[in-house]
Amino acid sequence: MQMTFRWYGPTDPVRLDYVRQIPGVRGIVSALYDVPVGETWPAESLAHLADTIDAAGMRLAVVESIPVHEDIKLGRPTRDRLIDNYCASVRHMGEIGVPVLCYNFMPIFDWTRTDLAMRLPDGSTCLSYDDAELSRIDLSRGTGDLPGWATAYSAEQLAALLDAYKRVDAERLWEHLAYFLERVVPVAAESNVKMAIHPDDPPWSIFGLPRIVKNAAALDRLVSIVDSPANGVTFCTGSLGADPANDLPTMVRSLGSRGKINFMHCRNVLVTGTRQFHESPHPTEFGSVDMRGVLQALRETGYTGPMRPDHGRMIWGEVGRPGYGLHDRALGAMYLQGLWEGLQQ
């Protein structure tokens, strides 16, 4: 297992030299955040990012992510050109030796929370989700009330996209995902890049939009579309763990035994009601995810890929990007490494 840490580039309040001080962390998960969605990532910009990380004594281990343009998800005529651009970006990853690409296929909205600073009894704050609160969000104002992702939409843009998705149900979205994978995975394989789809977060429909990558059956379907080591998953314990119906250790054994887990996101969530949860400290005892069971399953199936502590709380007065502070994720990295070492046979 290779412990990694997400870094949002030179504008990230978390400094690379601080990340370097976390024992065991030598891989960085990052991306180019200034390239418009749908355009090819410039080779020189990607190489500069890798060089910056190398200079700090680490390596660019995972790209997370190259966003998939909405026209690809919608199956519009422009998708072929956009997929060509995507393939070019994947080739540029391969040229500088970045081995894993995490991406998602969520319509319009990336990971979604209803509170970015829920206060816990110990005084820390965390990300939380409540389906009832989501239903009260006014989308007529655009995406301003939701977390910031690769693309922010005005009220008019969002309304047009929501209208377009009325003609895309779950099966149609699967067709569009298959079209994308059938063209991108062979390029990734040739470039020695492993694709790793991130599950939908949360793993159910929001705002009436289809979400299809949410459980064991969906992940099995995904990896069978193109049967290649380059077509795998990012197994996110927090995303999948928000649905109590998902048996995470069993899912890890099924996918891991076939070599289909290409990246691990490890975080815990505490499920507090139906479609209601908040993020919690990483150890098993604080949340609903059996982290020990997940890592035990990974060990049993011989996992050797990258892992990162995912969203953490904001603790010790730290301010910055919600979920992506330094301190709690550093604690998470140490917990995960200690658990991994303790599970050695």
Instruction: Report the CATH number that the domain containing residue 172 is assigned in CATH.
Output: 3.20.20.150
Q: At a CB cut-off of 8 Å and minimum separation 6, what does 176 contact?
A: 72, 73, 74, 75, 79, 168
Q: Is 324 considered catalytic here?
A: yes
Our count of domains for the chain comes to 1
Catalytic residue, chosen from 103, 129, 165, 324, is 324
Catalytic residue, chosen from 92, 176, 278, 311, is 311
**Band of residue 110 on the pLDDT scale cut at 50, 70, 90:** confident
Catalytic residue, chosen from 265, 278, 328, 335, is 265
Q: Is 327 considered catalytic here?
A: no
Q: Is 266 considered catalytic here?
A: no
Structure confidence at residue 140 (pLDDT): 80
> How high does pLDDT run on average in the chain?
95
Q: Is 236 considered catalytic here?
A: yes
Structural domain harbouring 102: 2-342
Q: Does 143 score more than 80 pLDDT? A: no
Q: Is 282 considered catalytic here?
A: no
Catalytic residue, chosen from 71, 243, 310, 328, is 310
In tens, the pLDDT along 219-248 reads: 999 999 999 999 999 999 999 999 999 999
Cα 282 → chain centroid: 16
Catalytic residue, chosen from 198, 201, 243, 328, is 198
Of 31, 40, 36, 34, nearest to 84 by C-alpha is 40
Catalytic residue, chosen from 102, 126, 236, 266, is 236
- DSSP for 65-96 reads --PPPHHHHHT-TTHHHHHHHHHHHHHHHHHT
Q: Does 148 score more than 70 pLDDT? A: no
pLDDT exceeding 90 applies to what percent of the chain? 90
Cα 177 → chain centroid: 17
Q: Is 198 considered catalytic here?
A: yes
